[in-house]
């Protein structure tokens, strides 16, 4: 008996020692959205630089903010959306970029290099941009569901009772509702927001689930027939089932620009800063950016990559929309103090009976 | 006349069974059949999801809703999954370290509380009880707020600290239960035989406590291995544990790889349980 | 039987034995608790930082029907889960206790094995079973109990959450009941069978009351985790059956409102403490009755 205990004890010490003694390879902690990069790129990057990228994912911007605010100091590179960059800059959670370390920065389309929330790419580079819309299955439709009414109008939503999914994201859901009602998706008016809230609560009985990450899977299995989500996900799903498609409703929708930034504490540490800048530069190499775009099916702000992007993607109106559609798209803006009201109304929806 | 636990079938005392049980009436046989059927349904309910999980780990299709063919592919994919390996390593480091610390100091306080009378014992008892009645989520946010305020970086050390904090009480309870069932008579007898208390403790009490200590250690180990909520809140980027990695996989990428991991975990525990039970039994006998 | 430490040496031993665990619990439990208590009286800044003004606004905000409603619904779900676990679990514990001794060990093992699978994974299994195209519906359709076009929606609602919670907790109810049942003093049962004619009355008036400690322990082990449940409603509730645990998590997550989240946690903990105090009061009065 005693021998057994001492053997176990030795085993335990051995395990803990082996884990302590191993030399840490160069590691970059990348905090991003799920399925938002071609995993091949991680391998290619490691082969070229010896740096191992460890990916962690989040489902909405607020979670990213919360994690950073609560002192998670291990992340090196993050991928926040437009309005969140605004918040992160104001809270001093992102570091400044050293453009000299990013030679490939010239490849970026000037249209995206001077966005209002981050002048002259002081803190972030644009990563991908796209629009939110509705995913559907051609088996259920003769004509594409070209309106938010199919989700927000109780008469129409009833048709698909229990087969509609919404994003688990208050900016997106209320944003869509507000646009449908003709208001700004970044409103600070309590009455307008209340209207949006009531609209969503009105169709809650027909909503199957709030889901931000696997909604396209539900569409694929037939669990849902209409999914509120982001363009690229549905188009990736289309590769598995050609009946899946995506549309930007006629009333307009949210356009977003996701950005890739370096965290404050990574910028402060020379070793980590160097790795982070290398990563940003690598991602903006035309060939890499093209590979990435061909995988995620979103629009790339990297002009030089266009020669490598598959024609199918370039021609796809839902990914690279025409002028007319672009005019219907709005970018979300940080609502500052009003966030608490948004938050409260969102809780009312989620708890909504 | 020997007393039967109502309904108990005691084969050893066949000759002395209670009058009523001697002639199995139709009613009592029906009752036995019904209760066995009930037990059967219960275990079916308990095992059905597990079986579904295992079966679909071999499903060729990515989706757990239709079966398209048998394959080992997901297991293969699992073994080359670097992130899972990392998570497993982290989980083991945390579980082993926190179990060792927790068992030692939990046993110590259990002995102290059972053995000695002192002022403010009630306060100590209350303090020991609280982590058990506080829900996971409350404990998780408490610790997060604490680590952030005191500026302790979130990572493996913070997870280990958290795990010890919520397992001490369980170890203490289990060891105390064991102590209560031993009583002190043996130790008093030892006091007559051995020169000092220290020897009496190590030669008599400690071996007697061992099953309780092992039981407590195993329980703490399980709690640590399984923990998701608390670990999720106090972990940092490179300190992902297995439950967190699995939850992440469920949330974003549904593939039978999840089923494969679960099946393997089940296999491991099926090997582990009999071993641990035997450990406890041997400790009991020595 | 505890002794009073008499010598200085005994006192020293006692303190050495107590200190490490006390230190750990005070520093890594009490202090965090106090921090949360303090935070519950602070305010949230524009971008989610803490503003140190003393105010009870968070508690007032919680007193809103919206949040009380969530709390109440969580409470009901937890109670329902506990009751169902009892109704399912106690009979099984009874059955197990009346099996021959050697079989009991095997049964115990059989029951623990699923329990050793991670609860997240077991909850996920239920998700795959309950989805519209999932196994359960497929079986029901095959048995012609439901129509193919309109199978019942079993997932992403309160019912699914309860199923998940019951599944994960039922063994925690069975074990203490079983321990109590096997610990029954047989002589009491003998006396009962001499006095009472049939088994039903023996059960109701003797067995059940005597196993009450086990039952109560089981209830606590089921109720506490169920009330504070977070993973199950998240995974099986589809965002529509959020419980108090989810609400708290959101405040520390996307809502970035730590003061409010702290206030909710304090309320939750108070309820738990209050319930436990009631339990202990009940135990003590039962003892004085005997």
> How much is the ipTM here?
0.83
- Mean pLDDT, rounded, for C252-275: 87
Question: Each residue of C32-50: pLDDT tens digit?
Answer: 999 999 999 988 776 667 7
| Nearest residue to C172 via CA among C268, C86, C48 | C86
The 8-class DSSP code of residue C99 comes to S
pLDDT of residue B13 exceeding 80: no
Between C155 and B88, the higher pLDDT residue: B88
With tokens 């803190």, the residue in question is A123
Q: Please indicate whether, in this complex, the C-beta atoms of B265 and C249 are within 8 angstroms of each other.
A: no
The pLDDT confidence band at residue A273, using thresholds 50, 70 and 90, is: very high
Q: For residue A227, what are the β-bridge partners? A: A135, A165
Inter-axis angle of helices C8-25 and B82-115, nearest 10: 140
pLDDT of residue A346 exceeding 70: yes
- Mean pLDDT, rounded, for B249-270: 81
Cβ atoms C137, C151 nearer than 8 A: yes
Q: Report residue B265: phi and psi, to 5°.
A: -60, -40
Between A9 and C133, the higher pLDDT residue: C133
The 8-class DSSP code of residue B201 comes to I
Tell me how far apart the alpha carbons of residues C178 and B248 are, in angstroms, rounded to a whole number.
Answer: 36
pLDDT of residue A17 exceeding 50: no
Cβ atoms C99, B259 nearer than 8 A: no
Nearest residue of chain A to residue C72 (CA atoms): A351
Q: How far is CA C163 from CA B63, B189, C112, in A?
A: 22, 53, 19
Q: Give contacts of B 71-110 with A, CB under 8 A.
A: 83, 86, 89, 92-93, 96-97, 100
The pLDDT confidence band at residue C52, using thresholds 50, 70 and 90, is: confident
Cβ atoms B170, B163 nearer than 8 A: no
- Mean pLDDT, rounded, for B211-224: 87
Q: How far is CA A287 from CA A292, A303, B264, C203, in A?
A: 9, 11, 40, 77
Distance from CA of B233 to the nearest CA of A (A): 9
Q: Report residue A209: phi and psi, to 5°.
A: -160, 160
Neighbours of A71 (CB within 10 A): 18
3-state SS record for C174-207: HHHHHHHHHCCCHHHHHHHHHHCCCHHHHHHHHH
- Mean pLDDT, rounded, for C127-138: 81
pTM: 0.82
Q: Report residue C209: phi and psi, to 5°.
A: -60, -40
Type and span of the H or E element at A10: helix A2-21
With tokens 């790339």, the residue in question is A300
Tell me how far apart the alpha carbons of residues C278 and C290 are, in angstroms, rounded to a whole number.
Answer: 19
Sign, CA torsion B137/B138/B140/B141: positive
Neighbours of B117 (CB within 10 A): 12
How many contacts, defined by CB atoms under 8 Å, are there between A and C? 74
Tell me how far apart the alpha carbons of residues C201 and B34 are, in angstroms, rounded to a whole number.
Answer: 20
The pLDDT confidence band at residue C287, using thresholds 50, 70 and 90, is: low
- Alpha carbon A336 to chain centroid, angstroms: 21
Across all residues in chain C, what is the average pLDDT? Answer: 83
Token representation of residue A91? 């809270």
Cβ atoms C121, B260 nearer than 8 A: no
Tell me how far apart the alpha carbons of residues A131 and A330 are, in angstroms, rounded to a whole number.
Answer: 9
Inter-axis angle of helices B257-285 and B206-226, nearest 10: 170
Question: Each residue of A225-251: pLDDT tens digit?
Answer: 999 999 888 888 888 888 998 888 999
The pLDDT confidence band at residue B150, using thresholds 50, 70 and 90, is: confident
pLDDT of residue B286 exceeding 60: no
Q: What's the pLDDT score for residue B17?
A: 36
| Nearest residue to C2 via CA among A257, B16, B122 | B122
The conformational region for residue A207 under phi > 0 = left, psi -120 to 50 = alpha, else beta, is beta
Nearest 5°: CA angle at B83, between A58 and A128?
40
Question: Each residue of A41-75: pLDDT tens digit?
Answer: 999 999 999 998 988 888 778 888 877 877 667 89
Token representation of residue B242? 């297995």
C39, HSE (Cβ side, Cα atoms, 13 Å): 31
Sign, CA torsion B33/B34/B35/B39: positive
Q: How far is CA A231 from CA A136, A255, A352, B130, in A?
A: 11, 11, 28, 49
pLDDT of residue B14 exceeding 50: no
| Nearest residue to C225 via CA among B226, A353, A217 | B226
The pLDDT confidence band at residue A22, using thresholds 50, 70 and 90, is: very low
Q: What's the pLDDT score for residue C72?
A: 92
Cβ atoms A112, A301 nearer than 8 A: yes
The pLDDT confidence band at residue B172, using thresholds 50, 70 and 90, is: very high
Q: What's the pLDDT score for residue A12?
A: 53
The pLDDT confidence band at residue C283, using thresholds 50, 70 and 90, is: low
Instruction: Name chain A's partners: 3 or more CB pairs within 8 A.
Output: B, C
Question: Each residue of A128-149: pLDDT tens digit?
Answer: 988 899 999 998 888 888 899 9
Between C287 and A284, the higher pLDDT residue: A284
Whether residue A221 lies within 8 A of chain B, CB to CB, comes out as yes
Cβ atoms A257, A126 nearer than 8 A: yes
Tell me how far apart the alpha carbons of residues C228 and C226 are, in angstroms, rounded to a whole number.
Answer: 5
Whether residue B248 lies within 8 A of chain A, CB to CB, comes out as yes
pLDDT of residue B191 exceeding 70: no
Q: What's the pLDDT score for residue A166?
A: 93
Question: Each residue of C145-198: pLDDT tens digit?
Answer: 777 777 777 788 888 999 999 999 998 899 888 888 887 777 776 776 677 657
Q: What's the pLDDT score for residue B189?
A: 59
Out of A115-124, B14-23, B45-54, pick the least confident: B14-23
The pLDDT confidence band at residue C27, using thresholds 50, 70 and 90, is: very high
Type and span of the H or E element at B222: helix B206-226
The pLDDT confidence band at residue A353, using thresholds 50, 70 and 90, is: very low
Inter-axis angle of helices B257-285 and C119-130, nearest 10: 140
Preferred mutation among A26, A73, A224, A232 to probe B, highest tally of B CBs within 10 A? A73
Whether residue B264 lies within 8 A of chain C, CB to CB, comes out as no
Whether residue A217 lies within 8 A of chain B, CB to CB, comes out as yes
Across all residues in chain A, what is the average pLDDT? Answer: 85
The proportion of chain C whose per-residue pLDDT surpasses 90, expressed as a percent, equals 23
Q: What's the pLDDT score for residue A21?
A: 38
Measured between beta carbons, the chain B residues lying within 8 angstroms of C3 are 115-117
Between A128 and A340, the higher pLDDT residue: A128
Measured between beta carbons, the chain B residues lying within 8 angstroms of A31 are 237
The proportion of chain A whose per-residue pLDDT surpasses 90, expressed as a percent, equals 32
Question: How many helices and strands in chain B, by DSSP H and E?
Answer: 13, 0
Distance from CA of C289 to the nearest CA of B (A): 23
Q: How far is CA B113 from CA B169, B176, B188, C10, C17, in A?
A: 12, 8, 18, 13, 9
Q: How far is CA B238 from CA A279, B145, C106, in A?
A: 18, 20, 41
Inter-axis angle of helices C212-227 and C158-182, nearest 10: 150
Q: CB under 8 Å to C123, separation ≥6 — which residues?
A: C164, C167, C168, C231, C232, C235, C236
Distance from CA of B232 to the nearest CA of A (A): 11
Distance from CA of C262 to the nearest CA of B (A): 8
Using a 10 angstrom Cβ sphere, with 0-12 exposed, 13-18 middle and 19 or more buried, the burial of residue B275 is exposed
With tokens 């099984």, the residue in question is C92
Q: Please indicate whether, in this complex, the C-beta atoms of B251 and A214 are within 8 angstroms of each other.
A: yes
Cβ atoms A81, A61 nearer than 8 A: yes
Q: What's the pLDDT score for residue A4?
A: 53
Question: Each residue of B224-233: pLDDT tens digit?
Answer: 988 999 998 8
Q: CB under 8 Å to C239, separation ≥6 — which residues?
A: A168, A209, A210, A211, A350, C156
With tokens 């699914």, the residue in question is C160
Token representation of residue A328? 């219907």
Out of A45-54, B134-143, C233-242, pick the least confident: C233-242
> Is A242 strand, coil or helix?
coil
With tokens 């356009």, the residue in question is A255
Q: What's the pLDDT score for residue B16?
A: 35
Whether residue C279 lies within 8 A of chain A, CB to CB, comes out as no
pLDDT of residue B168 exceeding 80: yes
Between A340 and A33, the higher pLDDT residue: A33
Highest mean pLDDT, choosing among A193-207, A339-353, B10-24, B237-251: A193-207
The dihedral over CA atoms of C138, C142, C146, C152, expressed in degrees to the nearest 10, equals: -10
- Alpha carbon A296 to chain centroid, angstroms: 11
Q: What's the pLDDT score for residue B4?
A: 44
The pLDDT confidence band at residue B11, using thresholds 50, 70 and 90, is: very low
Whether residue B6 lies within 8 A of chain A, CB to CB, comes out as no
> Is C63 strand, coil or helix?
coil
B145, HSE (Cβ side, Cα atoms, 13 Å): 31
B187, HSE (Cβ side, Cα atoms, 13 Å): 23
pLDDT of residue C281 exceeding 80: no
Cβ atoms A281, A265 nearer than 8 A: no
The conformational region for residue A254 under phi > 0 = left, psi -120 to 50 = alpha, else beta, is beta
Q: What's the pLDDT score for residue A190?
A: 92
| Nearest residue to C62 via CA among C253, C252, C247, C254 | C247
Type and span of the H or E element at A329: strand A329-331
Distance from CA of B109 to the nearest CA of C (A): 5
Cβ atoms C246, A347 nearer than 8 A: no
Sign, CA torsion C194/C197/C202/C205: negative
- Mean pLDDT, rounded, for C89-113: 85
The conformational region for residue C238 under phi > 0 = left, psi -120 to 50 = alpha, else beta, is left
Q: Please indicate whether, in this complex, the C-beta atoms of A350 and C257 are within 8 angstroms of each other.
A: no
Tell me how far apart the alpha carbons of residues A75 and B256 are, in angstroms, rounded to a whole number.
Answer: 29
- Mean pLDDT, rounded, for B196-224: 80
The 8-class DSSP code of residue A156 comes to H
């Amino acid at each position: 008996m005693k021998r057994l205990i001492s053997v176990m004890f030795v085993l335990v010490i051995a395990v803990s020692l082996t884990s302590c003694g191993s030399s840490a390879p160069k590691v970059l902690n990348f905090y991003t959205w799920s399925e938002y990069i071609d995993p091949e790129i991680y391998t290619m990057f490691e082969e070229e630089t010896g740096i191992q990228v460890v990916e962690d994912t989040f489902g909405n911007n607020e979670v990213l903010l919360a994690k950073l605010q609560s002192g998670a100091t291990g992340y090196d590179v993050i991928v926040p959306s437009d309005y969140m960059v605004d918040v992160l800059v104001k809270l001093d959670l992102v570091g400044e970029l050293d453009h000299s370390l990013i030679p490939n920065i010239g490849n970026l389309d000037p249209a995206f290099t001077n966005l209002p929330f981050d002048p002259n790419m002081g803190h972030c580079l644009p990563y991908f941009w796209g629009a939110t819309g509705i995913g559907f299955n051609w088996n259920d439709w003769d004509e594409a569901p070209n309106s938010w009414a199919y989700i927000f109008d109780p008469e129409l939503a009833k048709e698909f009772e229990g087969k509609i999914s919404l994003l688990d994201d208050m900016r997106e859901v209320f944003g869509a509702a507000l646009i449908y009602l003709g208001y700004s998706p970044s409103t600070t008016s309590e009455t307008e927001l209340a209207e949006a809230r009531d609209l969503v609560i009105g169709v809650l009985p027909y909503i199957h689930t709030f889901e931000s990450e696997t909604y396209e899977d539900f569409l694929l299995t037939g669990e849902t027939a209409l999914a509120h989500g982001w363009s690229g996900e549905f188009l990736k799903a289309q590769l598995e089932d050609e009946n899946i498609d995506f549309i930007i409703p006629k009333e307009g929708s949210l356009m977003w620009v996701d950005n890739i930034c370096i965290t404050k504490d990574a910028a402060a540490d020379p070793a980590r800063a160097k790795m982070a800048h290398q990563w940003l530069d690598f991602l903006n190499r035309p060939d890499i950016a093209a590979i990435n775009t061909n995988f995620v099916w979103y629009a790339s702000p990297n002009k030089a990559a266009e020669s490598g992007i598959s024609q199918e993607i370039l021609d796809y109106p839902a990914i690279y929309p025409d002028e007319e559609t672009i005019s219907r798209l709005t970018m979300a803006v940080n609502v500052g103090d009003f966030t608490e009201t948004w938050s409260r109304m969102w809780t009312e929806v989620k708890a909504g009976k | 006349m020997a007393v039967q636990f109502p309904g108990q079938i005691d084969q050893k005392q066949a000759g002395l069974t209670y009058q009523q049980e001697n002639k199995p009436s139709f009613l009592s046989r029906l009752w036995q059949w019904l209760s066995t059927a009930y037990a059967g349904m219960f275990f079916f309910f308990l095992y059905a999801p597990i079986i579904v999980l295992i079966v679909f780990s071999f499903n060729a299709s990515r989706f757990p809703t239709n079966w398209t063919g048998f394959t080992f592919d997901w297991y293969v994919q699992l073994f080359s999954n670097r992130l899972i390996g990392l998570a497993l390593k982290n989980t083991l480091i945390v579980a082993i370290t926190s179990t060792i610390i927790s068992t030692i100091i939990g046993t110590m306080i259990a002995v102290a509380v059972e053995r000695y009378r002192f002022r403010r014992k009630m306060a100590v008892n209350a303090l020991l009880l609280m982590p058990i009645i506080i829900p996971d989520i409350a404990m998780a946010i408490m610790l997060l707020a604490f680590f952030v305020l005191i500026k302790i970086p979130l990572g493996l050390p913070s997870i280990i600290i958290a795990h010890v904090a919520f397992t001490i009480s369980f170890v203490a309870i289990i060891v105390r239960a064991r102590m209560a069932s031993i009583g002190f008579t043996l130790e008093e007898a030892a006091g007559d035989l051995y020169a000092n208390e220290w020897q009496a403790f190590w030669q008599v009490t400690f071996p007697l406590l061992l099953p309780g200590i092992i039981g407590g250690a195993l329980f703490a180990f399980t709690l640590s291995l399984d923990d998701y909520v608390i670990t999720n809140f106090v972990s940092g980027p490179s300190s992902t544990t297995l439950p967190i990695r699995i939850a992440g996989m469920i949330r974003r990428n549904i593939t039978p790889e999840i089923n494969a991991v679960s099946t393997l975990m089940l296999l491991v525990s099926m090997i582990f349980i009999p071993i641990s039970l035997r450990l406890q039994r041997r400790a009991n006998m020595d | 039987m505890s002794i009073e430490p008499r010598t200085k040496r005994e006192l020293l031993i006692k303190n050495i034995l107590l200190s490490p665990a006390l230190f750990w619990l005070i520093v890594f439990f009490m202090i965090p608790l106090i921090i949360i208590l303090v935070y519950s009286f602070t305010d949230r800044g524009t971008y989610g930082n803490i503003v140190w003004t003393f105010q009870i606004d968070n508690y007032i905000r919680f007193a809103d029907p919206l949040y009380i409603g969530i709390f109440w619904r969580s409470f009901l779900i937890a109670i329902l889960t506990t009751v169902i676990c009892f109704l399912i679990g106690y009979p099984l514990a009874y059955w197990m206790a009346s099996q021959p001794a050697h079989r009991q060990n095997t049964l115990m093992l059989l029951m623990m094995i699923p329990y050793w699978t991670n609860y997240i994974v077991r909850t996920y299994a239920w998700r795959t079973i309950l989805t519209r195209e999932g196994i359960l519906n497929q079986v029901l359709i095959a048995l012609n109990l439901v129509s193919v076009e309109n199978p019942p929606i079993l997932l992403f609602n309160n019912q699914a959450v309860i199923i998940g919670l019951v599944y994960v907790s039922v063994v925690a109810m069975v074990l203490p009941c079983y321990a109590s049942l096997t610990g029954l003093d047989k002589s009491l049962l003998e006396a009962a069978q001499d006095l009472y004619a049939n088994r039903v009355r023996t059960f109701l008036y003797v067995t059940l009351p005597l196993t009450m400690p086990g039952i109560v322990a089981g209830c606590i082990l089921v109720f506490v985790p169920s009330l504070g449940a977070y993973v199950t409603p998240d995974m099986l509730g589809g965002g529509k059956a959020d419980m108090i645990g989810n609400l708290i998590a959101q405040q520390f997550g996307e809502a970035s409102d730590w003061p409010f989240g702290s206030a909710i946690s304090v309320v939750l903990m108070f309820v738990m403490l209050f319930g436990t105090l009631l339990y202990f009061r009940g135990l003590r009065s039962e003892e004085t009755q005997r």
